[in-house]
Chain A
């Protein structure tokens, strides 16, 4: 019993979603059974094209949208558990703070909403505004802020309650490159402090730079989930350059090519390092000097684009087959 209680207070996953679905009015199936695990203390990136259901998923976690079906936990509590929200920080996409408040008042206001007492939230608001580089601007009205300044203030408001889990929806939207770099530093610092960061972003490069693990959502489903190494595992390629002409047996590995007059090269896809070693051994046994061995992997962007094309292709095929079926039915009826 004690062990169970300890586990419920300290579960291994900050976010553990199981079979989350959301059907909007008009039979729009925004989420079709999403399952996702985010470990404690990691930065987790959520990727997907527009309409993939990312924002809906984020809003379900923040209790802004009600799921059609959902099970799982956020910080060990069931999804939608209100008291747990005090331990979560959330920066929504396109957030709009009250324009009549100053940045400091905004941050303090959300601190109060998270049940922080006056002295604590004042001190914490000042601290967080400094962290996001808004300390000097905190006493100006939000209506005078640029988009980037509003994002920074939003980040301060999301962190004011000292959250264990921070959910950020496009945090660098409208922020200049310097600001983006600073926000990335904040995210990394949060991870170093043991917080869990859930980052929803369109910016693949940004996600690749800071995230430990990512999930790629397409058409309401999680297509891939894992660390960058795991996700690009299958696309591991090797390029081996060696002296002399390519032996005939090398076509077992891949098509050889000449790099220079006295050098050849072979490229092939393999996840098996032993296979690479055996190739090198055979080449060396035939007195070919190995000039270079290069490992390449698919970038996150390449993987993302490939998945989007694959799923779009499948959808198009399904759509086409539906149209064909409908046309056949119509033709049959006419006959």
Chain B
């Protein structure tokens, strides 16, 4: 074996070789150029793509994507009724007249495709597939990487971005196939379907940030998945608590307002005093509900709002693709947890419809920036900690 001789002319004269150092070495840069960043980042993305390619779960998730879309495409609907793979199901009333303009497909994609498959099952598969990315970075292969002129911060961020690539590819495949099924089977070419890609990537990034930092610290894929799933449950519990207390607070406020209006209509002082007593009795409860809600709301403001982000996806799909939301279809107009709790407040003098409208107004008043902005703030703080930790860590 003979090593090549880029320094061959200096072979017998090391001091001459030493001249070809800082200023002349082909790889040396005092400051990286934009092209250098592109070269390194592209190589990292290329490697990440090959890593995903090598993972069976990546292909399993893609196959499931295709299977789900294929199952939806197998459903047919026309004036005579609904069918699966050409077999009439014979359900009376379910015809193209009931679901015009591809509404059936839109509804299925919205509820099952986004609400269940992408928001839950696909996300869990993505978390499992990417679980070893950061523990791997913190263990075996990191030595050689860190000895190259690439900053640890940039390495961490690029690795994180390559993790998001997993979800982006999966959702992109879903969106493209759903777009084609809507166009071919439903006769509607809805470009709005593609809005699901950035929104689902944003949603996944909340959870992946937790998984990345835990994976970096513990160096254990299993620990990072478990902690992330627990964190997801905490998010869900805080969301449910906030919705429940919002319902209680709103119901109590409407109750007081209804009673106060009733006082104005009453003629006798005896009758009035009875209602006034009821108002006075309700006010402490309302204060308690408000305090509880404020606490939950404060907690929710800090943590990522995964449910609301998924809600944005559904909302965007409905607005962009003219799909009915779940609520519109069911004629409820209220949050799922509110529906669950409706019976709890039924004895009150406020109608369910009015309560639902008040809740909906409150939910609509929460801007996209509150939902995504505060979630990104949490994610940024978490990732900053992860980068700080990675920069300080010895390997």
A98→B7 CA distance, assembly (Å): 31
Contact B18 A64 (CB under 8 A): no
Contact B11 A194 (CB under 8 A): yes
A-B contact count (CB 8 A): 176
Contact A10 B140 (CB under 8 A): no
In the complex, which range does the number of interface residues on chain B fall in? 35 or more
Which parts of B6-61 form the interface with A (CB within 8 Å)?
6-8, 10-23, 25-32, 36, 39-40, 42-43, 46-47, 50-51, 53-54
Q: Please, which residue of chain A has its CB at the minimum distance from the CB of B17? A: A194
Contact B1 A115 (CB under 8 A): no
Binds A, one of B95-103, B148-156, B325-333: B148-156
A16→B192 CA distance, assembly (Å): 62
- In the assembled complex, the CB of B146 is this many whole angstroms from the nearest CB of chain A, namely 5
Q: Determine if B268 is an interface residue (Cβ-Cβ < 8 Å).
A: no
Q: Give every chain A residue within 8 A of B2 (Cβ-Cβ).
A: 131, 185, 189
- In the assembled complex, the CB of B50 is this many whole angstroms from the nearest CB of chain A, namely 5
- In the assembled complex, the CB of B107 is this many whole angstroms from the nearest CB of chain A, namely 40
Contact A87 B14 (CB under 8 A): no
Question: How would residues 70 to 112 of chain A score, 1 for a CB under 8 Å from any chain B CB and 0 otherwise?
Answer: 0000011100001111111011100111111100010001101
Q: Give every chain A residue within 8 A of B392 (Cβ-Cβ).
A: 66
- In the assembled complex, the CB of A153 is this many whole angstroms from the nearest CB of chain B, namely 11
- In the assembled complex, the CB of A330 is this many whole angstroms from the nearest CB of chain B, namely 37
Q: Give every chain B residue within 8 A of A91 (Cβ-Cβ).
A: 144
A192-B1 CB under 8 A given contacts A82-B149, A101-B47, A120-B26? no
Q: Please, which residue of chain B has its CB at the minimum distance from the CB of A133? A: B1
Q: Determine if A9 is an interface residue (Cβ-Cβ < 8 Å).
A: yes
A66→B47 CA distance, assembly (Å): 27
Question: Which residue of B4, B15, B146 contacts A62 across the interface (Cβ within 8 Å)?
Answer: B146
Q: Determine if A243 is an interface residue (Cβ-Cβ < 8 Å).
A: no
Contact B145 A59 (CB under 8 A): no
A86-B25 CB under 8 A given contacts A162-B6, A194-B14, A194-B16? yes
A9→B23 CA distance, assembly (Å): 8
Q: Give every chain A residue within 8 A of B147 (Cβ-Cβ).
A: 62-64, 85, 88, 90, 92, 167
- In the assembled complex, the CB of B151 is this many whole angstroms from the nearest CB of chain A, namely 7
Q: Determine if B79 is an interface residue (Cβ-Cβ < 8 Å).
A: no
Contact B40 A112 (CB under 8 A): yes
Contact A194 B10 (CB under 8 A): yes
Q: Give every chain B residue within 8 A of A112 (Cβ-Cβ).
A: 39-40, 42-43
A59→B148 CA distance, assembly (Å): 12
Question: Which residue of A105, A159, A182 contacts B50 across the interface (Cβ within 8 Å)?
Answer: A105
A114→B149 CA distance, assembly (Å): 6
Q: Please, which residue of chain A has its CB at the minimum distance from the CB of B10? A: A194
Q: Determine if A127 is an interface residue (Cβ-Cβ < 8 Å).
A: yes
A85-B39 CB under 8 A given contacts A92-B143, A132-B1? no
Contact B3 A159 (CB under 8 A): yes
- In the assembled complex, the CB of B148 is this many whole angstroms from the nearest CB of chain A, namely 4
Contact A193 B21 (CB under 8 A): no
Contact B22 A9 (CB under 8 A): yes
Q: Give every chain A residue within 8 A of B16 (Cβ-Cβ).
A: 194
A192→B141 CA distance, assembly (Å): 31
Q: Determine if A175 is an interface residue (Cβ-Cβ < 8 Å).
A: no
Q: Determine if A161 is an interface residue (Cβ-Cβ < 8 Å).
A: yes
Contact A40 B14 (CB under 8 A): yes
Closest 10 pairs (CB-CB, A-B): A194-B17, A41-B14, A112-B43, A100-B54, A96-B140, A86-B27, A92-B143, A189-B3, A113-B148, A62-B147
